[in-house]
């Protein structure tokens, strides 16, 4: 237990430039407090003290503004940054080295008592205000942008954003790469901008092909094919009728 807490403090020191000391984290970081409370509540839940576990989790919510169901399974070195408004549902499973920002909801969309909350594999980062809704898996090293609404599984190492969330085109080869707020803050490949750019490229290609076809159908005067005799006779007949 003490080793896990020490690892979590070291993780916060590494990932949060605002953290100055271990004492500051222990005394003033609600994300750290929420995880400590959850460890206690989860122990009570697993040993059958369900009401006591819910009381501890409710006390933690009152003190930290972070709601974690005591049955949720959380791995090592979870970093909840800022934390206000975070909700983690009952059947949620969180791997190691996961980062959650404020306003994140790991919720369910079903009324059954089975698996209805998401599974976050190792190294996942969830941006501020994102909603992960359903019993699917967000793969290892995946990144979810701020305010995204994720309704389907996310592949390992993939970055998604938007409502509903779609891949942004940013693929991280190394899950250890940190991405603040789960969002590429530089050169974000906007899906709409990519679509417009693709359409403009296609129009340019079509214009080029049309120009080539027009050049092929143009004949110099000396290369013009001879007019058929029947066409000349028909034109003379029309002139005679007009006269």
Whether residue 85 is found in the same domain as residue 140: yes
How high is the pLDDT of residue 212? 83
Among residues 188, 205, 228, which one ends one of the domains? 188
- Model confidence pLDDT, tens digit, residues 24-73: 999 999 999 999 999 999 999 999 999 999 999 999 999 999 999 999 99
What is the count of structural domains for the chain?
A: 2
How high is the pLDDT of residue 138? 95
Whether residue 222 is found in the same domain as residue 165: no
pLDDT score of 236 more than 90: no
Q: Which two tokens stand for residue 143?
A: 């990144």
Whether residue 71 is found in the same domain as residue 8: yes
Q: How far is CA 48 from the centre of its chain?
A: 36
Whether residue 107 is found in the same domain as residue 48: yes
Q: Which two tokens stand for residue 42?
A: 């989860």
Q: Mean pLDDT throughout 21-25?
A: 91
- Confidence band of 91 (pLDDT split at 50, 70, 90): very high
Residue pair 83/64 in contact (Cβ under 8 Å)? The answer is yes
Whether residue 48 is found in the same domain as residue 162: yes
pLDDT score of 182 more than 80: no
- Confidence band of 199 (pLDDT split at 50, 70, 90): confident
- Confidence band of 84 (pLDDT split at 50, 70, 90): very high
Whether residue 52 is found in the same domain as residue 12: yes
Looking at residue 164, which CATH number applies to its domain?
A: 2.160.10.10
Whether residue 29 is found in the same domain as residue 100: yes
Whether residue 51 is found in the same domain as residue 158: yes
- Confidence band of 173 (pLDDT split at 50, 70, 90): low
Whether residue 141 is found in the same domain as residue 218: no
Q: Mean pLDDT throughout 223-239?
A: 57
Whether residue 95 is found in the same domain as residue 151: yes
**Which domain does 89 fall in, by range?**
2-188
What is the sign, positive or negative, of the torsion defined by CA atoms of 73, 76, 81, 82? positive
pLDDT score of 151 more than 90: yes
Whether residue 91 is found in the same domain as residue 175: yes
Among the listed ranges 10-14, 19-23, 35-39, 225-229, which one has the minimum average pLDDT value?
225-229
- Model confidence pLDDT, tens digit, residues 101-129: 999 999 998 888 889 999 999 999 999 99
Q: Which two tokens stand for residue 200?
A: 């403009």
CA end-to-end span of the chain:
111
How high is the pLDDT of residue 223? 55
Residue pair 70/53 in contact (Cβ under 8 Å)? The answer is yes
CA distance 236 to 10: 99
How high is the pLDDT of residue 119? 96
Please tell me whether the overall predicted TM-score, pTM, comes out greater than 0.75 for this model.
Answer: no
Q: Mean pLDDT throughout 151-163?
A: 91
């Amino acid at each position: 237990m003490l080793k896990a807490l020490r690892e979590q403090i070291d993780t916060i020191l590494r990932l949060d430039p605002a953290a100055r000391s271990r004492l500051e984290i222990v005394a003033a970081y609600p994300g750290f407090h929420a995880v400590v409370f959850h460890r206690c509540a989860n122990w009570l839940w697993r040993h059958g003290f369900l009401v006591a576990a819910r009381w501890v989790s409710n006390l933690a919510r009152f003190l930290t503004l972070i709601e974690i169901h005591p049955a949720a399974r959380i791995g090592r070195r979870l970093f909840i940054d800022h934390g206000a408004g975070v909700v983690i549902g009952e059947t949620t499973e969180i791997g190691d080295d996961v980062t959650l920002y404020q306003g994140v909801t790991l919720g369910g969309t079903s009324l059954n008592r089975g698996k209805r909350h998401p599974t976050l594999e190792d190294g996942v980062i969830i941006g501020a205000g994102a909603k992960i809704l359903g019993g699917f898996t967000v793969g290892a090293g995946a990144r979810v942008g701020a305010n995204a609404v994720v309704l389907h599984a996310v592949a390992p190492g993939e970055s998604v954003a938007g409502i509903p969330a779609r891949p942004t085109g940013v693929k991280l080869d190394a899950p250890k790469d940190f991405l603040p707020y789960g969002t590429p803050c530089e050169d974000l490949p906007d899906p709409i901008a990519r679509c417009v750019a693709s359409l403009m490229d296609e129009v340019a290609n079509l214009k080029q092909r049309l120009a080539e076809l027009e050049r092929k159908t143009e004949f110099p005067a000396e290369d013009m094919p001879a007019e058929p005799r029947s066409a000349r006779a028909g034109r003379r007949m029309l002139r005679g009728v007009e006269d």
